[in-house]
Chains A and B, each alone.
Chain A
């Protein structure tokens, strides 16, 4: 019996050795281990073995089976790997072939700049608000300390519609709407489209965008204005950015200032980009004029505030080094794709 089992084992191992395909290995399995296989046949012939011998023989059969199974399995695994490797070798691709892109569209540079600005101010607790683009004279001028005969009215080259209705020349009009709501304190920015009668050229457009900012609370100081806008500039143009405030004049703020930032190309050393000055003018700002507060029903003895206005196109042109404003409104896809 033992010899028989040895014989079967040797034969099985030989056949495994000779197998060159998975199917053949399967045949070996069926032939030796299957229901009608040779080992099964040996088990079936157990009835001929003496009862006291049976456990011993049974153990012997099982050992043989295990050994064959082990070898068989190893061979199967080896052969599967060979087959897979061969398949993968056939499947080599040229990884430098072009990508299949989803062709995602691009945001307008103005919007990218705007979203940056919004993100910064929302982080500082400002609410984004909107106001009408077609506006009453009162909100665009009078309530901002620019009465009927004020020269600033001429300077701004206003488009008029009917009577006291005009196209707003500045987002500052939104300040007035917010103040009139009477909800204090105020921390808002108001981005939007504004209009001035400038012919289209490389640096002018009859319609462009501004972002107005307004903070009104108790104890707001000019130092707060400086600190807020310095933080804004660092966020927008980089941590190394320095700011400079120069006195200026706006009818609706007093004191007023213009803010310059260090040139983001040369860092302030002076280059062609900043015309050798090292500084670039970025926005106008100031403490809200007490008369403006009074007109909107806010007591200037109790409340103070600051306001600022940024030209969005100016930021976009500077930040992305766009040399012609007309590009922003032509919508040439070759331009837009670069952002």
Chain B
């Protein structure tokens, strides 16, 4: 909301502070000022001049030479403007002065445009006559300004005086950000009241007194509210003998500063009162209201209504309509109809100031697709008491500004109005909540300033109706805090029983995952939780793959963000592809993020959110690099047992010969592998890529930070190397299983040190060599200990068709 400070000062005349002080103090008391601008920025040495004489320029057809009286002297100015004539009063910028912009009205230069005396085609020119654009404004705000050319004063302004003053540009326009609970502050009066309370200055709201004629409003209009649930109050008044014309300059200036274009006196008055009171009003041409009757009721299904912007709107029974005896004439609180629109020929005006159900207006505006200034205010839920005040103010202005006559009386239809909220005054409880020591007297002084009445007999506070946000003691405490000053409240730390700060075990494991991934060269990525259902095809999932059962967002930002991911792979592959296509070499990424597995679809209960530790890489690496990362991670979280890799993991998106489930103590904890070349192609990657996915809820139960020292071996180890010729389809994992089963207690370690296929080895076989280490904790091993175990191992291996090489 933008408002000129001069308007605020109309109600708080004693306000005396710099713009910055005003902004800071208002923000600290809760009326946030986003910023401010000065309409007179870069306007220097500009006075009102009168053109005494106009002559043709001797050397230029399009220029004229003017003698301009600027009060103290008459100066010569050359101009190309087509619209001036002798006797015109115009703004003149003198030599050494400044204007805000160029005559074409483009963006204003930061430091304005300096004006100096000079010669135009050989003729001296000692200043410049200004267009409204050069003064930093435009014809929207100054409708009387000519389309092209110099601004000409129409009022009685004195030659030689400050032209910027005459144009009402010496002002500051503040931009407020009003919070949704402070409906009262969506108005100039509301903000002025806050300003008065903030600066402890007296507040003088407008005195509303309507001079009515002898007629009775009941003879002009009757009102029937059928749907009272949606319309708590409807006030109507009538003005006759309307004379349309421009509104006074002060009103135009205030509206313009608020960003509202002045139109004519009638429209301007309704807009003015909307800004001033925060109460939207509507004006109907009474002669278009059939039966001189207003009926407020819901629309009927399928109704179509043409609003005054000429658009046809589709209605439904939840939309509240203003109707006359025959037809609909406006969408309540949103926009009037074309059929009852005010024209310049209007004779009699019906004013409407009503309050409507805020939620209903909000929803209707959304459904119809038409949000207006009015609906924006109504949807916040307006104070019904304000409607009457506003309509009276409008009628007062009609009469005062000579726009028409006010018919006596008001038609006021409303249900029982809510009483003012009364709360016991509990100063101790406010101090206790705030941690302050504000005196009772200071609190009462604050309440006085914000029009909360104190009853010393009952010791109660009575809240004004416009403060619908003050309902409980905590709300009152906030008022005390705001005006006492948030900055004056002390800073302390909570007392009370000490608590143990901690990171839960699951999060500690995730932290370890990050550490290990990073040690292994992986950087952390972040991926979206939602993705496109097309992802499943990209990953070659079968039509009946359970991962395709994904949760769908009912109002997504397009299909690409429409389902909650059931696999974490797409995110990491997309990120790898981004890097690949940006020619980044050697990329290793990991992500920790949830997947969302529905228990049933559509959702009846919350889904299973499973944290996935996903790693992906391309470049100088292979399957075993990835396997190394997995094992480093398990080792770091105390998972020291043998990890099994089951090549039958059945993942369509992985290379069929290069994938494995990761199995720990019989539980599948995840999978790893090389990405299927077709999937790589689907992601536009012309490289091999490797991924691993660990399901953290499955991993965490096996993890531990307990460690037990095993003792460093005291007795020497004995090692034996074995070299084997092994059928090609036997995996070393199977050999290792034999070593483990048969190695007994003295088996300490084994290392694969050679694997070879090729020339010296017969077809269908490979050569495999292990170094096996034995050790006993309590003695030096005898040759017989080792040879016994070795015999068992070799027997086992031979049973698998493995030949031992000498």
The answer to whether A and B belong to the same complex is yes
- B492 contacts the other chain (CB 8 A): yes
User: Closest Cβ of chain A: how far from B3's Cβ, in Å?
Assistant: 19
Complex interface residues of chain A between 242 and 283 (CB less than 8 A to chain B): 244-249, 254-257
A57-65, A87-95, A217-225 - the one binding chain B: A217-225
Cα-based distance from A132 to B596 in the complex (angstroms): 10
B75-83, B390-398, B512-520 - the one binding chain A: B512-520
Of chain A, the residue at the smallest CB distance from B518 is: A105
- B265 contacts the other chain (CB 8 A): no
The answer to whether A149 touches B501 (Cβ under 8 A) is: no
B49-57, B153-161, B551-559 - the one binding chain A: B551-559
CB-CB nearest 7 A-B residue pairs: A223-B435, A221-B435, A247-B30, A149-B359, A331-B525, A255-B478, A249-B179
The answer to whether B578 touches A330 (Cβ under 8 A) is: yes
The answer to whether A163 touches B603 (Cβ under 8 A) is: yes
- B248 contacts the other chain (CB 8 A): no
Could you tell me which B residues sit within 8 Å of A by CB distance? 27-30, 32, 179-182, 358-359, 362, 366, 379-380, 432-436, 469, 472-475, 477-478, 481-482, 486-487, 489-504, 506-507, 511, 514, 517-530, 551-557, 561, 564, 575, 578-579, 582, 584, 586-590, 593-594, 596, 602-604, 606-607, 609
Answer whether A107 and B518 are a contact pair too, CB < 8 Å, given A244-B487, A255-B481, A332-B578: yes
Cα-based distance from A154 to B494 in the complex (angstroms): 35
- A106 contacts the other chain (CB 8 A): yes
User: Closest Cβ of chain A: how far from B796's Cβ, in Å?
Assistant: 40
The answer to whether A223 touches B434 (Cβ under 8 A) is: yes
Q: In the complex, how many residue pairs between chain A and chain B have their CB atoms under 8 Å apart?
A: 254
Cα-based distance from A207 to B557 in the complex (angstroms): 11
Can you list 26 A-B contacts with CB-CB less than 8 angstroms, sorted by A residue number?
A104-B521, A105-B521, A105-B588, A105-B590, A107-B523, A108-B524, A115-B511, A126-B501, A128-B504, A130-B506, A134-B603, A160-B554, A187-B494, A197-B555, A207-B528, A219-B496, A220-B494, A222-B489, A224-B495, A228-B493, A247-B482, A248-B179, A249-B182, A332-B578, A336-B589, A337-B523
Contact pick for A128, options B379, B489, B502, B593, CB 8 Å:
B502
- A98 contacts the other chain (CB 8 A): no
Cα-based distance from A248 to B481 in the complex (angstroms): 12
- A295 contacts the other chain (CB 8 A): no
Cα-based distance from A128 to B501 in the complex (angstroms): 8
Cα-based distance from A54 to B163 in the complex (angstroms): 135
Contact pick for B491, options A118, A226, A254, CB 8 Å:
A226
Q: Across the interface, which residues of B come within 8 angstroms of A230, CB to CB? A: 491
- A121 contacts the other chain (CB 8 A): yes
- A302 contacts the other chain (CB 8 A): no
Of chain B, the residue at the smallest CB distance from A291 is: B472
The answer to whether A151 touches B180 (Cβ under 8 A) is: yes
Cα-based distance from A85 to B564 in the complex (angstroms): 69
Answer whether A105 and B517 are a contact pair too, CB < 8 Å, given A197-B557, A331-B527: yes
The answer to whether A227 touches B491 (Cβ under 8 A) is: yes
Q: Across the interface, which residues of A come within 8 angstroms of B564, CB to CB? A: 134, 161
User: Closest Cβ of chain B: how far from A108's Cβ, in Å?
Assistant: 4
- A103 contacts the other chain (CB 8 A): yes
Answer whether A206 and B496 are a contact pair too, CB < 8 Å, given A105-B521, A162-B603, A165-B603: no
Answer whether A206 and B528 are a contact pair too, CB < 8 Å, given A126-B501, A197-B555, A247-B478: yes
The answer to whether B474 touches A136 (Cβ under 8 A) is: no
Answer whether A336 and B523 are a contact pair too, CB < 8 Å, given A223-B434, A331-B578: yes
The answer to whether A223 touches B27 (Cβ under 8 A) is: no
Cα-based distance from A333 to B522 in the complex (angstroms): 10
- A133 contacts the other chain (CB 8 A): yes
User: Closest Cβ of chain B: how far from A30's Cβ, in Å?
Assistant: 36
- A289 contacts the other chain (CB 8 A): yes
- A328 contacts the other chain (CB 8 A): yes
Q: Across the interface, which residues of B come within 8 angstroms of A199, CB to CB? A: 557
Of chain B, the residue at the smallest CB distance from A218 is: B496
19 more CB-based (< 8 A) A-B contacts, given A149-B359, A193-B593: A103-B586, A105-B521, A129-B504, A133-B594, A133-B596, A135-B606, A152-B180, A159-B556, A193-B529, A220-B494, A222-B433, A224-B493, A245-B486, A249-B179, A254-B472, A255-B434, A256-B478, A331-B579, A337-B523
User: Closest Cβ of chain A: how far from B225's Cβ, in Å?
Assistant: 21
Cα-based distance from A207 to B593 in the complex (angstroms): 12
Cα-based distance from A287 to B434 in the complex (angstroms): 9
Cα-based distance from A165 to B604 in the complex (angstroms): 8
The answer to whether B493 touches A227 (Cβ under 8 A) is: yes
Contact pick for B489, options A165, A167, A223, A289, CB 8 Å:
A223
Cα-based distance from A257 to B500 in the complex (angstroms): 27
User: Closest Cβ of chain A: how far from B468's Cβ, in Å?
Assistant: 13
The answer to whether B521 touches A102 (Cβ under 8 A) is: yes
- A172 contacts the other chain (CB 8 A): no
Q: Across the interface, which residues of B come within 8 angstroms of A134, CB to CB? A: 551, 564, 596, 603, 606-607, 609
Of chain A, the residue at the smallest CB distance from B23 is: A277
Answer whether A246 and B28 are a contact pair too, CB < 8 Å, given A159-B553, A333-B523: yes
User: Closest Cβ of chain B: how far from A262's Cβ, in Å?
Assistant: 14
Q: Across the interface, which residues of A come within 8 angstroms of B435, CB to CB? A: 221-224
User: Closest Cβ of chain A: how far from B493's Cβ, in Å?
Assistant: 5
- A185 contacts the other chain (CB 8 A): yes
- A290 contacts the other chain (CB 8 A): yes
Q: Across the interface, which residues of A come within 8 angstroms of B561, CB to CB? A: 206
Of chain B, the residue at the smallest CB distance from A336 is: B523
- A124 contacts the other chain (CB 8 A): yes
Cα-based distance from A197 to B484 in the complex (angstroms): 39
Cα-based distance from A248 to B486 in the complex (angstroms): 11
- A334 contacts the other chain (CB 8 A): yes
Of chain A, the residue at the smallest CB distance from B519 is: A104
The answer to whether A126 touches B499 (Cβ under 8 A) is: yes
The answer to whether A223 touches B523 (Cβ under 8 A) is: no
Of chain B, the residue at the smallest CB distance from A249 is: B179
Cα-based distance from A206 to B521 in the complex (angstroms): 29
Cα-based distance from A162 to B495 in the complex (angstroms): 44
The answer to whether A151 touches B379 (Cβ under 8 A) is: yes
- A10 contacts the other chain (CB 8 A): no
Answer whether A110 and B522 are a contact pair too, CB < 8 Å, given A126-B499, A151-B379: no
Of chain B, the residue at the smallest CB distance from A195 is: B529
User: Closest Cβ of chain B: how far from A112's Cβ, in Å?
Assistant: 9
Of chain A, the residue at the smallest CB distance from B582 is: A332
The answer to whether A127 touches B504 (Cβ under 8 A) is: yes
The answer to whether B494 touches A162 (Cβ under 8 A) is: no
User: Closest Cβ of chain A: how far from B114's Cβ, in Å?
Assistant: 24
Q: Across the interface, which residues of A come within 8 angstroms of B607, CB to CB? A: 134
- A304 contacts the other chain (CB 8 A): yes
Cα-based distance from A122 to B561 in the complex (angstroms): 35
- A7 contacts the other chain (CB 8 A): no
User: Closest Cβ of chain A: how far from B543's Cβ, in Å?
Assistant: 23
Q: Across the interface, which residues of B come within 8 angstroms of A51, CB to CB? A: none
The answer to whether B486 touches A246 (Cβ under 8 A) is: yes
Answer whether A231 and B493 are a contact pair too, CB < 8 Å, given A122-B502, A128-B502, A333-B587: yes
- A215 contacts the other chain (CB 8 A): yes
Q: Across the interface, which residues of B come within 8 angstroms of A187, CB to CB? A: 494, 499, 501
For B501, B525, B579, the residue with the greatest tally of chain A CB atoms inside 10 Å of its CB is B501
Contact pick for A254, options B478, B589, B590, CB 8 Å:
B478
Contact pick for A247, options B486, B527, B555, B582, CB 8 Å:
B486
Answer whether A165 and B482 are a contact pair too, CB < 8 Å, given A127-B501, A331-B527: no
Q: Across the interface, which residues of A come within 8 angstroms of B586, CB to CB? A: 103
Q: Across the interface, which residues of B come within 8 angstroms of A217, CB to CB? A: 494, 496-497
The answer to whether B578 touches A215 (Cβ under 8 A) is: no
- A26 contacts the other chain (CB 8 A): no
Of chain A, the residue at the smallest CB distance from B510 is: A111
Q: Across the interface, which residues of B come within 8 angstroms of A331, CB to CB? A: 523, 525-527, 575, 578-579, 589
Of chain B, the residue at the smallest CB distance from A189 is: B501
Cα-based distance from A287 to B433 in the complex (angstroms): 8
User: Closest Cβ of chain A: how far from B20's Cβ, in Å?
Assistant: 10
Q: Across the interface, which residues of A come within 8 angstroms of B578, CB to CB? A: 330-332
Cα-based distance from A331 to B529 in the complex (angstroms): 15
Bitwise, A192-225 to B at CB < 8 A (1) or not (0) is: 0101010100000011000000010111111110
